[in-house]
Each structure stands twice: as structure tokens, then as C-alpha cells.
Amino acid sequence: MVIAKPTIRVNKEIRVREVRVIAGDGEQLGILSIQDALRAAEERSLDLVEVAPQAEPPVCKIMDFGKYKYEQAKKMHDSRKNQKVVLLKEVKMRPGTDVHDYNFKLNHAKKFLGEGNKVKMTVVFRGREMAHSELGVALMQRVSADIAEFGNVEAMPKQEGRTLIMIIAPKA
């Protein structure tokens, strides 16, 4: 999904008759015609930037546009830096998974939850194992009991074709 950035109109790109103008120091200059507003910005060797196009009349501020763009980019960068990306890690098992393999895969799931990622536990059935799907449900219940101190079951075990899927989210 692509998010369209709002276009910021500057100087001659502003196509309205009159605008509410704010000086660089925050002083209200009032409602001016676009020519007067451009002249006021030019006298200060700055740009006229439309900051609130939806207002009536649109609000424009006299400022250095290059500096404004730089500060906006810096804000975006800082907000992205503080975001935590949660990944969905998958751990696959079979209904007849042995004790050692079970513990090995359970430790992987605990490690993923410790890193703050969600875990998708999957039990894959082959051939005649589908006749004993209760073994997969029992395995999932065992996993949810063993992993309770590291995460909470977000989506209960659900059969999708030949697989049984359960989602576990890390504890906050």
C-alpha cells in the first residue's frame, strides 16, 4: 500500500486569491491577497509556504522552505526509528514429533517471543495422520501450556486443510 504524501505548495504554486499569513516569528499578518503575501515573503528573503490548505482562507507561513523540508524529514526519521517491527516467525511440527525435537522447537519459539516477535505454531498432517487430528490439538494445548510464561495465545488452534495453526503473541 502506497501512502500519497500531501503536496506542499510554495510561492507561485499557491493558486488562491487571498491567504491568512503568519510571519516566521509567529506574528499574524492577517488576511492578504496572494500578491501582497508573496511580496512580504520576498522582502524577508524567505518563501511563502501553504501550511493549512483546507482552512478558509488557506493558511500560509513565511519561512525558509529548505529548512522546513529538512525538519519534516528529520521528524519522519525519528518517528520511524522508535517503531518496533513485529515479525511473524513460524515453527512447524508433526503430530508424532519426538520429545527432544519438541523441546528444541519450543526453545526456538521462546527465543522468538523473547525478541518481541509473534510465533505461528503449525502442526502439519500427512497421509492417514488426518484421521487423528486430535493428536495435533493435544500437541497445541501442550505448547500453549509450556509457553504460557513467554506469550499469550492470540489465535486458538484452527484447522486449515492439512495444517493446524495457532498464533502466539509475546507478553507485554
Q: Where are the domains of the chain?
A: 11-80, 88-170
Using CA atoms, how far apart are residues 162 and 98, in angstroms rounded to an integer?
20
Average pLDDT over residues 20-30: 86
Concatenated DSSP letters of 121-163: EEEE--GGGGGGHHHHHHHHHHHHHHTTTTEEEEEEEEEETTE
Regarding predicted confidence, which is higher, 5 or 36? 36
50-96 pLDDT tens trace: 888 888 888 999 999 888 889 889 988 888 887 777 789 999 999 98
> How many CB atoms within 10 Å of residue 91?
18
Using CA atoms, how far apart are residues 164 and 161, in angstroms rounded to an integer?
8
Average pLDDT over residues 108-115: 93
Q: Nearest to residue 171, comparing CAs of 89, 130, 110, 127?
A: 110
Q: Nearest to residue 113, comparing CAs of 145, 82, 88?
A: 88
Question: What local confidence, expressed as pLDDT, does residue 3 receive?
Answer: 57
Under CATH, what is the fold of the domain 11-80? Ubiquitin-like (UB roll) (3.10.20)
135-155 pLDDT tens trace: 999 999 999 999 999 999 998
Residue 5 has pLDDT above 70, yes or no: no
- Domain spanning 88-170 has what CATH number? 3.30.110.10
Query: With bands split at pLDDT 50, 70 and 90, how would you rate the model's confidence at 6?
Result: low
Dihedral of CA atoms 37, 40, 46, 50 in degrees, nearest 10, equals: -20
- Domain 11-80 and domain 88-170 have a common topology: no
